[in-house]
């Protein structure tokens, strides 16, 4: 069965650079969630989208923005990167109306030097 796809899987950036992370949900899933997991920490919710509209917002810095496109894939844009942004970024998808479980992608490991 198709799973959630994230790209890239690994990314190395320098401070003050920008990064774009991509998430491709499971087919027919209409909701995408982004989570950030710092080293040794619990995953923290950043933002979610349902039918291309932002549906909930968590602890996402103002330097970050995200959107969901017409094909339901989502991109997380991160600007003015800081060392503290180094983390594992997970995307998850679900089908909202059926209140299904969230399926997680493999994550993008971002390292900011």
Partner 1 sequence: KNEVEQSPQNLTAQEGEFITINCSYSVGISALHWLQQHPGGGIVSLFMLSSGKKKHGRLIATINIQEKHSSLHITASHPRDSAVYICAVRQGAQKLVFGQGTRLTINP
Q: Which residues bind partner 1 (CB under 8 A)?
A: 33, 35, 37, 42-45, 48, 55-56, 58, 88, 90, 92, 96, 99-104, 106-107, 109
Minimal distance, residue 16 CB to partner 1, in Å: 26
Minimal distance, residue 92 CB to partner 1, in Å: 8
Residue in this structure with the two tokens 């971002």, named with its chain if needed: 110
Q: Which of 85, 74, 95 is nearest to 39 (CA)?
A: 85
Minimal distance, residue 4 CB to partner 1, in Å: 10
H or E stretch at 32: strand 31-37
Nearer to partner 1, 56 or 82 (CB): 56
According to DSSP, the β-strands at 108-112 and 10-13 are parallel
Distance CA 5, CA 74 (A): 11
Nearer to partner 1, 16 or 33 (CB): 33
Minimal distance, residue 34 CB to partner 1, in Å: 10
Distance CA 68, CA 77 (A): 12
Nearer to partner 1, 41 or 80 (CB): 41
């Amino acid at each position: 069965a198709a799973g959630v796809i994230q790209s890239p899987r690994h990314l190395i950036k320098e401070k003050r650079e920008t990064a774009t992370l991509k998430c491709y949900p499971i087919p027919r899933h209409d909701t995408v969630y982004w989570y950030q997991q710092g080293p040794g920490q619990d995953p923290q919710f950043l933002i979610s989208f349902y039918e291309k509209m932002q549906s909930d917002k968590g602890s996402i810095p103002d330097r970050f923005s995200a959107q969901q496109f017409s094909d339901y894939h989502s991109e997380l844009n991160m600007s003015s990167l800081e060392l503290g942004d180094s983390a594992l970024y997970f995307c998850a998808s679900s089908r909202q109306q059926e209140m299904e479980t969230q399926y997680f992608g493999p994550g993008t490991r971002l390292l900011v030097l």
